[in-house]
Amino acid sequence: MKVRNEKIIHILDILSKFLQGKEEALRLSLITFFSKGHLLIEDLPGLGKTTLAVGISKITGLSFGRIQATSDLLPTDITGVSVYNKQTEKFEFHPGPIFNNVVLVDEINRATPKTQSALLEAMGEKQVTVDGETYKLPKPFFVIATQNPVEQYGTFPLPESQMDRFMMKISIGYPSREAEREIIKGGSKREELYGLQPEMDKSEVEKIQDEIEQVYLSDKIIDYVLDIAQITRKSKYFSAGLSIRGTLTIVRTAKTNAYFKGRDFVIPEDIKELLPYTVPHRVILHETYENSNGKELVLSVLKEIPVPA
């Protein structure tokens, strides 16, 4: 799965230094970022999620904000509040951390549902409304949310319908022995990471995002995507299949993937290789199969779909 677009290769090269052995996660994050989507990382703490988020914001020269979700986090802690200014005798809006280009929401499942939905709404609408005033979020806007799969006590797992709002759900996983050895040898590179010089600016990011939209999507590929949607909707294993948002996601990420690979048209592989990250969190397993491994089940169903050509 080689990346051929030079700019992207360059970014990957630089960031790889900070994320040894996590090139795949990095690539997927960038695909999500350039596809104007949001990313959900389900992983244990301490595996480099922050590094990933900070790295992306730094290298693209975008602002970075971080929200640590706790059970007493309020929606206004995310969106910001209006504060009365005595001098001007007016309410002034103090934007919250969400008014950044890259936002890391750590352990989103620890926040209360109310807060979660405020965040997800902001992600979906790309705007927030406080005290009747609507404020546009900056562009580009990229949320990386993390979720701890192990801790269940006092958490509020994201409902399935909310998961749909994340373009991809990935997990970083432990690095390989070799990679970890390098990490130990090199010591912490956090300082270096914060000092990272941007390789592109906001306008360039937007330009790339526009170029990605221009990637050609053949009817044959559309049929393939529709086949995928169809099979998840009809399968006896699932009670709910892929949403329209889901199919759109598949297409958008595929375009980005093709772009990364230096192509201006989509091939089935672009779609196929991202399916494990784009589809499983969007389908709801049938009661009978609730105990089986959802991801495996979804992938085994998708595996059988014939590829055009």
Binding site for another protein (CB under 8 A): 216, 218-221, 263, 265-269, 272, 303-307, 309
Give residue 184's identity as a one-letter amino acid code.
I
- Closer to another protein by CB, 2 or 185: give it: 2
Q: Which residues, other chains included, contact 5 with Cβ-Cβ below 8 Å and sequence gap of 6+?
A: 259, 260, 261, 262
Shortest distance (Å) from residue 190 CB to another protein: 37
Nearer to another protein, 174 or 216 (CB): 216
- Tell me the two tokens of residue 43: 């992983």
Least distance to another protein, CB of residue 304, Å? 6
First and final C-alpha spacing in the chain: 20
Interior/surface letters 64-76, b for 16+ CB within 10 angstroms, e for the rest:
bbebebeeebebb
The Cα–Cα gap between 106 and 111 comes to 10
- Minimum gap (Å) between residue 270 Cβ and another protein: 9
Residues constituting the chain: 309
CB-count burial class (<10 Å; 0-12, 13-18, 19+) for 284: middle
**Least Å distance between CB 273 and another protein?**
8
Question: To the nearest whole angstrom, how small is the minimum distance from the Cβ of residue 214 to another protein?
Answer: 13
Residue at 237: amino acid letter: Y
Question: How far is 72 from 183, CA to CA, in rounded Å?
Answer: 35
Closest contact distance (angstroms) between CB of 285 and another protein is 22
Comparison of 58 and 272: residue with beta carbon closer to another protein: 272
Q: Closer to another protein at the Cβ: 199 or 269?
A: 269
**Nearer to another protein (CB atom), residue 42 or residue 269:** 269
The smaller minimum CB distance to another protein, of residues 194 and 216, is found at: 216
